[in-house]
Structure 1
């Protein structure tokens, strides 16, 4: 059974709950890890990561509740060389505003664009060069990076083995991958693919969500993502089971995305989290 200490809450699971209430909420459930976001209230805006609270107040909340900031989501367009200066500026801003919070990781997401005309080799080359630059800046703050492959058809880095190759070619030691069950499903990462192509030692975090709508795989989007449910068409719990069985020992974070969750009050959020934890613990 997965110990409670290995669960994490992404703030997308409680988007209507302010940070000063989210931290004690997760602590009361026994969860010791949280993912912050720069897009919880709309378009990415780093000034919203801490809900405009002073870092000293956030640090006190974290310390009082024994909660750790596992990640900030996210630096976008991470594999676009023409965006490197903008991305480094954004990354430095994130690192500066959280330098007293013992932040562990920053999540990096690839480009999503149907108009991206780069070849696969160009995309990889730019991702490698960018990761090398990100790595140097992250090391100044003793923070690591997590690349999150996005399985959408317009994603430029869709598969976990592509992320592994970028890390290898970049030659960095402070980057791993996010294994997101939604994006595994979108990219159609089969169990055979997983066993033959995915090296679990590269996985630094697992994101869990459920999809209940039986629409076609390629028509799914973030709005279809909810907390875990026994009727999940992706069978996220089975994906997590495979990852765990392969030797993964890290955290499992709940990352739904549907705007419906903005209607959830604290009681509903706690119920959903507890049920999701139970589903994982009963099956892994």
Structure 2
């Protein structure tokens, strides 16, 4: 049985308060979580202070891996800079190690040349802000056909051109990796792996969306097992963070037992 290092993204149970979410993580013998800034009525949107989040994490003996996320990070503007400053400051003050950076996903900014330059400009602007706070920027390409940054190879090329590996890492999301159809893994540049599965037999790959994303089991169509094995073989030693978006997962009365079952399946199969 492989020793996989798991984490929980708050999306596993977005209805739980931060305190209860942290309690869920510790009930599974976990020591690492991701918090989010897109959950209405919950921290961070409800005004919960970063100090309160830091205190709760200490009480539960948890490391906060990231805040998920600065949206449309590659659509840089003064507004985006203000958003980035606020989130980076919150990450620093709550003890989070990283900020996830999500590209715009509305069909714009996809032209060759344009998308690379937008990425380059945004990383140049973000680097001093992240470095000053000692926060890592986790660039997460999305596999959707309309996304302005689908390719990890493209992201890695810009990071390396800027000699910015000390500031930026990649997120390998098993769902988005499958959708993008990208072969290369970039394990040495991967700072975090997001895991979720798709079991609906009727949906085509091009039609897969966030609501299809469930916990990983033996019916998974995304080859999570193959991806995880390949990442480990390539030297990845970081966390595998559960990030399901499906309503049926969010509605579970006992998410702990379902998460434990998925963890056991993955650990025993890898």
- Equivalents in 2 of 1:209, 1:117: separation in Å? 27
Residues 1:121 and 2:120 aligned together? no
Structure 2 counterpart SS, 1:35: strand
Describe the shift of the 1:22–1:58 C-alpha distance in structure 2 as closer, same or farther (beyond 3 A).
Answer: same
Structure 1 counterpart SS, 2:218: coil
The equivalent of 2:220 in structure 1 is: 232
Q: TM-score, normalised by structure 1?
A: 0.89
- Equivalents in 2 of 1:77, 1:105: separation in Å? 17
Q: Deviations over 1:246-275 (max 9, x none)?
A: 11011110011112333223xx21012101
Q: Deviations over 1:23-77 (max 9, x none)?
A: 12211211111111111239xxxx8427533333322221121101101111111
Equivalent of residue 79 in structure 1, options 53, 74, 80:
74
> Which segments of 5 or more consecutive residues in structure 1 lack a partner in the other structure?
none
Residues 1:278 and 2:268 aligned together? no
CA contact (8 A) 2:92 2:135 kept: no
> Which segments of 5 or more consecutive residues in structure 2 lack a partner in the other structure?
none
Residues 1:163 and 2:155 aligned together? yes
Q: Map 1:1-284 onto structure 2 (within 5 A).
A: 1-3=1-3, 6-41=5-40, 48-49=43-44, 51-80=46-75, 83-114=76-107, 116=108, 119-172=111-164, 173-189=166-182, 193-194=183-184, 198-214=185-201, 215-265=203-253, 268-284=254-270
Structure 2 counterpart SS, 1:73: strand
- Is the deviation greater in 53-62 or in 229-238? 53-62
- Equivalents in 2 of 1:59, 1:205: separation in Å? 21
- Equivalents in 2 of 1:57, 1:75: separation in Å? 21
**Structure 1: 4+ residue segments shifted above 3 A:** 1-4
Q: Deviations over 1:107-134 (max 9, x none)?
A: 00111122x2552112101211111111
Q: Which one has a larger percent helix, Structure 1 or Structure 2? A: 1
CA contact (8 A) 2:39 2:45 kept: no
C-alpha deviation, 1:102, in angstroms: 1.8
Q: TM-score, normalised by structure 2?
A: 0.93
Describe the shift of the 1:29–1:118 C-alpha distance in structure 2 as closer, same or farther (beyond 3 A).
Answer: closer
C-alpha deviation, 1:84, in angstroms: 3.0
C-alpha deviation, 1:143, in angstroms: 0.5
- Is the deviation greater in 175-184 or in 231-240? 231-240
- C-alpha root-mean-square deviation of aligned residues, in Å? 1.8
- Equivalents in 2 of 1:59, 1:179: separation in Å? 26
CA contact (8 A) 2:67 2:91 kept: no
Describe the shift of the 1:28–1:182 C-alpha distance in structure 2 as closer, same or farther (beyond 3 A).
Answer: same
C-alpha deviation, 1:234, in angstroms: 1.0
- Equivalents in 2 of 1:77, 1:54: separation in Å? 24
